[in-house]
Amino acid sequence: MPTLTYRDALNQALREEMQRDPTVFLMGEEVGLYQGAYKVSRGLLEEFGPQRIVDTPIAELGFAGIGVGAAMTGLRPVVEFMTWNFAVLALDQIVNSAAKMLYMSGGQFPMPIVFRGPNGAALQLGAQHSQAWESWLAHIPGLKVVAPATPADAKGLLKSAIRDNNPVIVLEGEMLYNTKGEVPDGELVIPIGQADIKRPGTDVTVICHSKTVTVALKAADLLQEAGVSAEVVDLRSLRPLDETAIINSVTKTNRCVVVEEGWHHCGVGAQVVDIIQRDAFDHLDAPVLRVTQADVPMPYNKVLERAAKSSPEKVVAAARRVLYLD
């Protein structure tokens, strides 16, 4: 099986979907001539031309809205944000236009559009460039939200997103673009709404998504050394959430830690915990714990930044607590 970077897996997905469907086009800042700020769109301008690989001005609100309007005429826009931090400027178009169009038109205007770009903190980019937006976006009915952790998931979920007749938010891990993984040859379409067990285990469930899958897998290695078998459940999709996968795992292990890049308050983990306490209450042997970013804007200083982020050690500590080992 070929090994690809996360970046190239996304590039493959875009290329294959654009070859497959002439109504798919990509627009965003630096996507064409510059080959993409993170090189996800490398080579696409040469292959598809400026009609379909559209360089925009720095005007997130405007070009997101242009994407929505284009989708109303039957096109399938893929709108790239250089980062989700900038996409906040376009939130009106995502929330008020894209997410509600089908509903408020009584079913007349489907909205087959993808909004994608890097999400989550990278390294020392400071407070305004280091944020995880999933809880904001997953809150909204009318949107689907995916956050792939591996190159294969990135490819398969982006392809599903482009083919979906609804607005799909694709949160790409900013720290994941260089990571490598096996990506099956040929058609790879991963249905939206399906979690994936990245590592089976029996003693404690660690629920995660995007970059925190890496964190959880490292934590599982550390726990294994202490004789604890952790099951790592990658949500992959945050709206819809795979409630069955969550419940099945917790029912098996009876203990759970939820880890995410975002802040604690009203985070994705809060929703996961809500599901667990409602549908797996009798199976729990300990309260569910959450590992999140510290409840502060991200500091620039390297030491402080590390302290603010979730880490394998923090996940291990939480797992040991739910196992009453500490």
Partner 1 sequence: MTPVTAAQAKSKEKDTLLPDRQRALLRQMLLIRRFEEKAAEAYALGKIGGFCHLYIGQEAVAVGSIAALRDDDYVICSYREHGQALVRGIPANAVMAELCGKATGCSHGKGGSMHLFDAKRHFMGGHGIVGGHIPLAAGIGFGIKYKGGDQVCLCYFGEAAVNIGAFHEALNMSAVWKLPVVFICENNRYGMGTAFERVAALTDVAEHAKSYDMASAEVDGMDVFAVYEATQKAVAQAREGKPTLLEVRTYRFMGHSMSDPLHGVYRTKEEVEEQKKRDPIAALTHHLRDEGTMDQPAIDALDAEVHAEVDQAAKFADESPDPEPDALFQHVLAD
Which residues contact partner 1 (rule: CB under 8 A)?
25, 51, 56-57, 59, 61-75, 92-93, 96-97, 101-112, 141-142, 144, 165-166
30, 129, 139, 283: the active-site residue: 129
In the chain, DSSP assigns E strands to 3-5, 24-28, 53-55, 76-80, 114-119, 144-146, 168-173, 180-182, 196-199, 204-208, 230-234, 237-239, 256-263, 289-293
56: left (phi over 0), alpha (psi -120 to 50) or beta: beta
Q: Greatest CA span in the chain, whole angstroms?
A: 60
Q: Is the CB of 236 or the CB of 255 nearer to partner 1?
A: 236
Q: Which residue, 149, 87, 131, is CA-closest to 305?
A: 131
* Burial tier of 258 (Cβ tally within 10 Å: 0-12, 13-18, 19+): buried
Which CB atom, from 97 or from 160, has the smaller least distance to partner 1? Answer: 97
Is 73 or 178 the residue whose CB approaches partner 1 more closely? 73
161 is written with which tokens?
């997103």
- Minimum CB separation of residue 67 from partner 1 in Å reads 6
Any catalytic annotation for residue 129? yes
Decide whether 104 or 307 has the Cβ nearer to partner 1. 104
Exposure on the CB side of residue 234, measured as CA atoms within 13 A = 24
CA-based Rg of the chain, rounded to a whole angstrom? Answer: 19
Q: What is the 3-state secondary structure of 207-233?
A: EECCHHHHHHHHHHHHHHHCCCCEEEE
Handedness of CA 4, 9, 12, 17 (dihedral sign): positive
Known active-site residue 139: no
Given 16, 17, 29, 60, the catalytic residue: 60
Active site residues per annotation: 60, 129
